[in-house]
A and B are shown apart, each in its own frame.
Chain A
């Protein structure tokens, strides 16, 4: 019967799929705390900053910095993980942001005897510092974590002191996440971009809503941004700075007329990871060109 033949072929195709070869051999004997699986870009970057990147056996798809992180086996979108895929990497420890899920996948790790350390995902300085301590404690790197934190706190204090001393005017900054058919997606309050603009001595031009929203032309005119801030990734997808500055919503603003546009790498600017003090200082330099800001002592390096 041809139906059964067809279904048998389908079955065979399924069985012969390359997936069978893509599995990872199990049972590699590693001391407890050895093999780390990281779920969340913020966590991955901290593990590397604590010189433990070589212990990572996998990461979620958002973990693309530093470049070595991008070469790790990827377990997919951090909110749609499959328990068996995580187990197939034989981790001794899973570091996961609170958003990692679904819950069933994370619960299954515990059932299989794999310890899971959950880490907060806030985009504020306090949350970022707490995250570094939490990751340090989970992977047995408390002392390096304390050193890393102290360096960031010192750099942020240096930046804050320099800004307080010079007391420059705070330029109104509008952060554009992306620009699709619905108009530019612009950061309101409570966003990582909002925190970063404040740290760098700017003022978010949008304070009427929280999160990201498509910007209406009238709202752009009312906001009167003096600087447009965006990510290099957004500029790439738009096809360059002119494409963004020439948009009608933007062109009519003070920033559009002065063609004042700044772009930084998305993870660098918004990640609130180990490089956040460097990113805030870079942004402050760009926002206040006349201001001499001191060099940072402990910066892990710009992208």
Chain B
């Protein structure tokens, strides 16, 4: 991490991190100012300084601020995990779903939504409101563990093996989700459908405080893998010759990514696009150096989800749109625009 960046980077590459940091600040301001309740910017500021009146204070401090923080942390975690896994698998189509974490979490969420009534009848001390995120987090990690175990022979994890095992685990999880959907009633089916579209509506301070460490720890540790991941772009054997502890790096990358994505999915449901495309957006501008791609993805992922949530809260006010729709609706055209620019 201590090496200076190569001087002959792509044009603009070195300025991307400060630029993205500015965008993040702008999105934070936007998500504190925009909302269904009209609060003028000066009163938003007063509320942030602790001088807001009753409702301003509730709206800004209890509703918008935790959502902005949760949205930012979730977006960053998803994007960083996506960048890491794309680097690890040397596959531009890798997204966090490939290591089973999303489908494992989805299966656990479906179990909780459809069978949660039976569970809480047996074990009354279970709190349904907390059961879903905890189960989703655990389900994501278990699925990733299975994928990792299947792909590991004699202490060596094969990256293509993980991709294939991931496909199999995803198929099994989705079959079980289908079974649960078949068993579900109308309401449970709607609940599950909305969960798969993602929402930050449940982000209050207690839930944000619970999710934040799980999102932040992998996000702070993954950039340390940037240099070894750069070396592994040459191929795993070549990276080994360069002195990279390939197996250890692979293991850390997968575990930390699964933690980050598991926590993100638990906190917000399934949010598409961020993990797959945000790293590409950064790479299109900054080039393939993971030392720029990983932190850049964190900043852009956070900005995208914060901005998308600000729109999700306001476009259909007083109703809310699922934020997963907006990440794709905003990010998709922007990605196309960048692609056409590069093609010229």
Contact = CB atoms under 8 A, between A and B. Distances in A.
Interface of A: 1-4, 6-7, 10-11, 14-15, 17-20, 22-26, 58, 61, 73-77, 79-89, 99, 102-105, 107-108, 111-113, 177, 182, 211-214
A52 B218 CA distance: 53
Contacts of A75: 318-319
B313 A85 contact: yes
A119 to B, nearest CB: 16
A83 B201 contact: yes
B203 A104 contact: yes
A56 B35 CA distance: 22
A42 to B, nearest CB: 13
A1 B37 contact: no
A4 to B, nearest CB: 5
B174 to A, nearest CB: 16
A1 B15 contact: yes
Contacts of A61: 319
Contacts, number: 158
A77 B187 CA distance: 11
A4 B19 contact: yes
Interface string B323-344: 0000000100010011001000
A294 B188 CA distance: 39
Contacts of B64: 84
Place the interface of chain B in its size category. Answer: 35 or more
Given A10-B307, A11-B27, 9 more contacts: A3-B12, A4-B22, A11-B307, A19-B311, A22-B36, A79-B194, A83-B201, A85-B317, A112-B58
Interface in B7-23: 12, 15-16, 19, 22-23
A212 B185 contact: yes
B318 A73 contact: yes
Contact of A80 (B63, B199, B311, B338): B199
A86 B313 CA distance: 11
A87 B59 contact: yes
B317 A77 contact: no
B201 A19 contact: no
Contacts of B38: 23-26, 88
A14 B326 CA distance: 11
A213 B119 CA distance: 21
Closest 10 CB pairs of A and B: A76-B319, A19-B314, A85-B318, A88-B36, A82-B320, A104-B204, A102-B202, A23-B38, A112-B58, A85-B36
A301 to B, nearest CB: 27
Interface in B288-334: 303, 307, 310-311, 313-320, 322, 330, 334
21 contacts: A7-B303, A17-B314, A17-B315, A19-B34, A19-B314, A19-B317, A22-B36, A22-B314, A23-B35, A23-B36, A61-B319, A74-B318, A76-B319, A80-B201, A102-B199, A102-B202, A103-B129, A108-B58, A112-B58, A113-B55, A113-B58
Interface of B (DSSP majority class): helix
A112 B204 CA distance: 13
B37 A88 contact: yes
A7 B187 contact: no
Interface in B195-220: 199, 201-204, 207
B191 A84 contact: no
Contacts of B19: 1, 3-4, 7
A248 to B, nearest CB: 20
A3 B285 contact: yes
Nearest to B66: A104
B202 A82 contact: no
B318 A86 contact: yes
Contacts of B310: 14
A88 B63 CA distance: 12
A88 to B, nearest CB: 4
Contacts of A87: 36-37, 55, 58-59, 63
Nearest to A76: B319
B175 to A, nearest CB: 15
A75 B319 CA distance: 4
A111 B185 CA distance: 32
